[in-house]
Amino acid sequence: MAQVALAWCLSKDAVTAPVVGTSNLKNLEDLIGGLDVRLSEEEVKELEERYVYQAIQAFY
């Protein structure tokens, strides 16, 4: 799922360098694999159609 999320971010013209974080090497390797994933326009459209906006909430 992280690879798809990274590929989606990179499919956006306004995104030049997504900032990602991880707590271990295995997750970093998974994220790096996302650099080779290319989503078609149809796949991007499907992902965006399924997205449900959630308002940001404070955690204090």
pLDDT in tens, 8-43: 999 999 888 888 889 999 999 999 998 999 999 999
Q: Cβ distance 37 to 7 under 8 Å?
A: yes
Instruction: Give residue 16's pLDDT.
Output: 84
In a domain, 57, yes or no: no
In a domain, 18, yes or no: yes
Nearest to 10 by CA among 27, 35, 29: 35
Could you tell me if residue 58 is inside a domain? no
Buried b (16+ CB within 10 A) or exposed e, 16-32: eeeeeeeeeeeeeeebe
Give a yes or no: residue 6 inside a domain: yes
Compute the distance between CA of residue 28 and CA of residue 54 in angstroms, rounded to an integer: 27
pTM of the model: 0.74
Would you say residue 56 lies in a domain? no
| Domain-embedded: residue 59 | no
Total domains, the chain: 1
Supply the pLDDT for residue 25: 95
Q: What is the pLDDT of residue 8?
A: 93
Write the pLDDT tens digit of every residue in 1-17.
899 999 999 999 988 88
Residue 41: which domain range? Answer: 2-50
Q: Using CA atoms, how far apart are residues 7 and 54, in angstroms rounded to an integer?
A: 21
- Whole-number pLDDT of residue 54: 84
